[in-house]
Structure 1
Amino acid sequence: MDLKTTYLGLKLKNPIVPSASPLSRNLESMKRLEDAGAAAIVMYSLFEEQVEHEAAELDHYLAYGTHSYQEALSYFPTPEEYNLGPDQYLEFLHQAKQSLGIPVIGSINGISSGGWIDYARKMEQAGADAIELNIYYIPTDPRLASQEVEDRYVSVLHAVKRAVKIPVAVKLSPYFSSFAHVAVRLDEAGANGLVLFNRFYQPDIDLEELEVKPNVILGTSDATRLPLRWIAILHGMVKTSLAATSGIHSAEDVIKMIMVGADVTMMCSALLKHGPGHITSVLEGVNKWMVEHEYLSVEQMKGSMSQASVVDPSAFERAQYMKALNRFR
């Protein structure tokens, strides 16, 4: 079976790419991911806050006033909770490129147009094959119109594209009033790829300590439904590469995403739960399914179940809503 695919212009041996996670924080686990069959790896994210503030300055900002307003400020992370050190990040990225035989994609997380964007260029110089721009932004200002939010995303993309020559993918959340419009705008603005979707980590409350607590809950295959729908809709609508993330756990999840139009599928929770070797079993499952259903290549499968390809395109829109409710027993 021919599992090769193209993502961001990169020729990959298969469509499984580990997304940014703790597994990309050391070379040993990255090598294990490669040995298990990963086609490329997305580095853990370098945050805007890491670049904009020196560790001591960040410590000052986060510690200032905590004795007076301890309950109110206790949800802020301490400096030790950040992956401090943008220069160390760049050095590690360089080491990863020297040690691995697969593409390494740098990840940068920010939303402003500050000096942190220069680190995208430094990632390129360190050897990154591409950059994933992870825009984690929750607009809470009620005076901020949706158009302004969209403009900010496009502005950041433009700034990063001006800084580098390598491909740039944008990792997005689904929380837009017109997601298709945003996707087309970013495509036209030069995004080489769209990664659907960023999963906002929701805070929790400790009822005993009366503190807001960060809490990571690993995703399940149920989370694939949202990116599956939107990749199916966007396939053929945009020229840019499409990556599916959120809930990719099994061979079936991978196959479904490819069939609706994804160029690659990104895994995180499944690898944190089962380890790097899980990639091997998923690839074996994909191969087995393709043999049983007489598919010769991933390219043959790609987009065959997109909205533009299915008999009833409305199945990805409102029409299925009543059917789903009526069939539930």
Structure 2
Amino acid sequence: MHITKSHLTGLVLSASTATAASLFDKRVTVSWGPIAGLQASTSEIIATTSTIYPGKMPSDQKGFMFAWIGLGNGTGDLIQSIIGSYPAGQSECSGSDADTTWCISSEVYGLDDTGATVQFVGDKRTADVNYENGIFFNYTLIDKSTYLWEQTMTDALTGELLSTYQKKSGPMTLWNTAVELQPNGDEEPTGTIEPQYYVNSTIYLDAADAAYGDGLYTEYGAITSDMTTSDGGKTWFIEKITVPAMDNSTSSSSDSAVVAAVSSSSSAVVSAAPSTSAAAVPSVYSASSAAPVPTEGSNPWGHSGQNQGPPSGRFGAW
């Protein structure tokens, strides 16, 4: 869940690392695009990595649209680095490209020290004009004794840091991708206009959960390859997740550029799991071959207020 500027009832700055947007009792209207996720693991998640190829951003966004991978546990924080599309003048990013390209930010939706529900937003954010390179997610439990989590988003081709954030957030057992949609007042959002791909998604567990892959699910048209493990259930791998375009009338031939970017990268499956005390995720990451771009004209939007999302009816922290 991401709380936008139009929904803020207060705004405070933490000491140095993030902006915290106070929600208080105000509810946010949210609907969902295609989702892929997993039922809770029996072991804690200690890291996850993936590369997203987000496709072209809607050109005249009136509402808010966010693509993200979330880690949660059902009661506490939701860790979520975001690829965001905002109305003009409302982006989390700044600069001349803020209104014309995806805004990359690392965030946590959860509780502050007073118990208030807030959206923490890392100071490092980037309007990413090179999104066709792919964007590499890395969430790592860097200190298990304090449950300090670090998020980074980097350019998958150059390694340039696009966003980062650290926060103590507790143990995590839930994982999902999402396309989140919010109106801007009376203006409705535009969803994805081209397919999005998550490539080489890897989830590292503290201990083996041999049945974890049985909990893989999809909603609203998302498509996944099989989930596999090569070490008895500590490290799990999904070669590709496809998020079909939600507005096929505006999709374009640049789909082929996304497929080419995925296909041209070498395939790599990381076999070494990170340690349980500090989940140092291997730096080796790359995309694997892509399946054909979906051609069926589905428009799988979820509706707000109807327990949309995973079978548990909630993402991570809400």
TM-score w.r.t. the length of structure 1 is 0.23
Question: Structure 1 or 2: larger strand share?
Answer: 2
Question: Structure 1 or 2: larger helix share?
Answer: 1
User: Between Structure 1 and Structure 2, whose CA radius of gyration is higher?
Assistant: 1
Larger relative contact order (CA 8 Å, sep ≥ 6) = 2
